[in-house]
Amino acid sequence: MKKNNFHRAILAALGLCTVIVVIAFQNIIIDFFFPSLPRLTTDFSPMYLARELRAYARERGAAIFFGDSVLWGYRLESNDTALALLAREGCRCRNLAFKSGNPANDYLLSRLLLESHVNPGVVVLEINQAVLNQADSEYQTVHPAIWSLAHQYLTRRERLMLTPPVAADGRWANLERIASSVSLLYAMRSDLHAMLYGDVPPPPRLRITPELFEGTYDLSPLALSNVGVHFLVETAHALHQAGVPVLAFHTPVNHALLHSYIDNVQYRSNKTFLTHELLARGASVLDLDSAFPSNAFLDETHLTPGGQNRLARILAHALHHYSVQARVNLAR
């Protein structure tokens, strides 16, 4: 009996050692060979984001972009986006825009940059009035990966302003944390899936009519009490206080499509208010709201490849003031 127990113990130890070696080998392979993706995927993991921030901290003077699906390149291949074009022309551009981006996410990303000792040459902020609408699905949300890494930087009042991601029950959450801390394969499973099989596909195209976008923009006067406005100005303030230049731009909007909803005094007044608040916090602001023709859009704000090319040229010109753009020829 004792001999059998000894054999079982030996087999169990060998099995455990094998598992440890396999996991360690997987971690080494993923850590060394998993690429830096051209843009964040829909379900990017905390581990992937932390990995990117560590890489950013090893360089100085890059341009880091915060934004939503417009800057991310909704319905486009990653190599058709403005940031991809800028990068091909020599810009040291780092893309932290993602499909469900909003000012709350931008603020927490800015805090993560600073806490991770990242030293960008400039942070570029997209200002999209649509996500400042209280009826917008992204108005009070934070991406789970960003919440996981950065929720501690929020004040109690700010936490109450947001809707945190749905948490797993306590036992499952503990198992999740343990598995993620041990295995990169598990921690980055969503990133690996996106790399191998592609990102979550967009929904089927609809026939684009103005009626689809009724209510997209809240035309009541904006104020600092608005959740999005609060985090937008706090982002600019935090970066300015840390000595990081901020270049903000108003999202290009298809005015020909949305004429009956946004070509009015209140929409323009809200844009002026946002510009004033950002300028007061040390940011530079580009007004691209009505700078694009209707044929540059896929819908109300998302750009065609030609529209992204136009955006790249405008950003190239603006970024000539910063060292990140010294080698880029697009603005010529």
Residue ranges covered by each domain of the chain: 1-33, 36-201+209-325
Residue 329 pLDDT grade (very low, low, confident, very high; cuts 50, 70, 90): low
Residue 5 confidence (pLDDT): 73
pTM of structure: 0.91
Residue 17 confidence (pLDDT): 82
Lowest-confidence pick of 173-182, 217-226, 278-287: 173-182
Counting every residue written for the chain, the total comes to 332
Residue 326 confidence (pLDDT): 44
Alpha carbon distance 130, 300 (integer Å): 10
115-172: pLDDT as tens digits = 999 999 999 999 999 999 999 999 999 999 999 999 999 999 999 999 999 765 666 7
Residues 6+ apart with CB under 8 A from 233: 224, 277, 278, 281
> According to the CATH classification, is domain 36-201+209-325 in 3.40.50.1110?
yes
Mean pLDDT across 68-91: 95
Residue 330 pLDDT grade (very low, low, confident, very high; cuts 50, 70, 90): low
Residue 322 confidence (pLDDT): 82
Q: Is the per-residue pLDDT at 328 higher than 70? A: no
Lowest-confidence pick of 188-197, 250-259, 281-290: 188-197
